[in-house]
């Protein structure tokens, strides 16, 4: 039952001690000092609005708790979290990415959640594979906030206007490059191109590698590909820039890897690459009708390039002083149906079957499109790769930097490939 809210200061101001509380008909627990939690996440305004609504719902349900939310764009999030963690001032509830979870867990920055399973954290409706996706070295350090996979998000209206078919689940890399060049030519709009430049994006590079039977990293934490492989990758995007199929380096440099300044949102390209759960945020910022399909494929007989993974996870700081409350907040986000209806599928398709069933009727067209896309991809994906090693986040930034340098003619393609492999290997060796 919802309890009346009265903070400690207001009670004292009224001159009410414990006897006063009784006179007011309030339980003695209402006198307890307010517990405060800090929650930290990356993402768009759409995500921030939904997250803050759920925090408000939680605070209305459980009195005596205040949750201070803080959000940043992806590119700023990780340096800030690293600084706060090093300063022993990490937030209590941390939105975590699969790429970084092993690094933070092995650093001792995250709280092992196993002791709380069945004691405040209910995972009985989560598929074992989803629970495993939050494990590092056999212990649970993160709970999935939703499943997703990579996607190619496109302006449906723009393709209709030029009379070209958009890419689909069977479009391979060669056909994609040809289609993008044709689109740019047909659009006849200066400064408007078929695609964003994906050469510096790790997820799409990983998808391309996997269609060739390779991975980003080997089980012993070395690069899973060679200099010739990434030279071919950089060359593909150099050719795209030369043909006009993707945006210029000057435009792509405006992209800070968030929805707001993606080339699609800025009206510079008809295609952007993103995770499937981001369709909601993209559509909220684009007037044109958007749709999505998979990354280009490797063609007939090629291996699947994509996989379904936790879009993001919630982890708890190992240094939180409010362990029980933080666990309860985490459990509320992943198991409460009302919270699920607010969150929708913006962070991906919920893992809990009861939550997914509970929100199904409330999904709008975008939500259903996302759920349908995940269902269509289920038979087209490969296994979840191993947890990325320490330094993977730094290597992601390196990929973007080298691709930019090639785009601006500061590096030849072959020199860029050599530089990337050399620096990435050094980062991995350092651990």
37-145+311-368 and 150-306+388-430 share one fold: yes
Query: What pLDDT score was predicted for residue 368?
Result: 86
CA distances from 57 to 37, 40, 43, 356, 367 (A): 15, 17, 20, 19, 22
Q: What is the pLDDT at residue 9? A: 34
Q: What is the pLDDT of residues 355-394, one digit of tens each?
A: 988 998 888 888 888 888 987 887 888 888 888 888 888 9
Ranges of residues in the chain whose predicted pLDDT is under 50: 1-31
In CATH terms, the superfamily for domain 37-145+311-368 is Periplasmic binding protein-like II (3.40.190.10)
Query: In whole numbers, what is the pLDDT of the chain averaged over residues?
Result: 90
**Confidence (pLDDT) at 33:** 62
Domain ranges of the chain: 37-145+311-368, 150-306+388-430
Global confidence as pTM: 0.72
CATH number of 150-306+388-430: 3.40.190.10
pLDDT at 353: 86
């Amino acid at each position: 039952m919802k309890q009346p809210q009265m903070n400690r200061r207001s009670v004292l101001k009224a001159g009410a001690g414990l006897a006063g509380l009784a006179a007011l008909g309030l339980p003695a627990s209402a006198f307890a000092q307010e517990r405060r939690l800090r929650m930290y996440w990356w993402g768009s305004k759409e995500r921030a609005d939904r997250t803050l609504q759920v925090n408000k719902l939680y605070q209305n349900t459980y009195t005596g708790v205040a949750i201070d939310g803080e959000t940043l764009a992806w590119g700023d999030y990780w340096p800030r979290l690293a600084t706060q963690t090093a300063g022993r001032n990490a937030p209590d509830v941390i939105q975590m990415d699969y790429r970084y979870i092993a690094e933070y867990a092995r650093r001792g920055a995250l709280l092992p959640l196993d002791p709380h399973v069945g004691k405040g954290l209910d995972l009985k409706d989560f598929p074992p594979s989803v629970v495993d996706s939050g494990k590092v070295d056999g212990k649970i350090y993160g709970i999935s906030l939703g499943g997703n996979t990579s996607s190619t998000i496109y302006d449906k209206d723009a393709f209709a206007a030029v009379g070209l078919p958009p890419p689909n689940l069977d479009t391979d890399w060669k056909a994609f490059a040809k289609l993008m060049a044709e689109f740019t030519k047909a659009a006849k709009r200066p400064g408007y191109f078929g695609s964003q430049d994906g050469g510096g994006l790790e997820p799409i590079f990983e998808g391309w590698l996997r269609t060739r039977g390779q991975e980003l990293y080997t089980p012993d934490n070395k690069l899973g590909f060679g200099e010739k492989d990434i030279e071919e990758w950089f060359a593909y995007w150099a050719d795209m820039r030369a043909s006009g199929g993707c945006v210029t380096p000057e435009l792509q440099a405006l992209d800070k890897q968030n929805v707001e300044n993606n080339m699609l949102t800025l009206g510079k390209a008809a295609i952007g690459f993103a995770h499937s759960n981001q369709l909601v945020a993209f559509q909220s910022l684009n007037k044109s009708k958007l749709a999505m399909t998979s990354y280009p494929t490797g063609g007939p007989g090629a291996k699947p390039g994509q996989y379904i993974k936790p879009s993001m996870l919630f982890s708890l700081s190992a240094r939180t002083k409010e362990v029980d409350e933080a666990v309860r907040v985490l459990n509320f986000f992943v198991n409460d149906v009302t919270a699920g209806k607010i969150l929708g599928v913006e962070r991906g398709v919920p893992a809990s079957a009861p939550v997914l069933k509970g929100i199904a009727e409330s999904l709008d067209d975008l939500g259903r499109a996302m759920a349908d896309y995940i269902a269509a991809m289920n038979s087209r994906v490969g296994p979840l790769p191993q947890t990325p090693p320490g330094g993977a986040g730094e290597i992601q930034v390196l990929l973007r930097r080298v691709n930019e340098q090639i785009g601006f003619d500061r590096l030849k393609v072959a020199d860029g490939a050599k530089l990337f492999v050399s620096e990435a290997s050094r980062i991995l060796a350092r651990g």
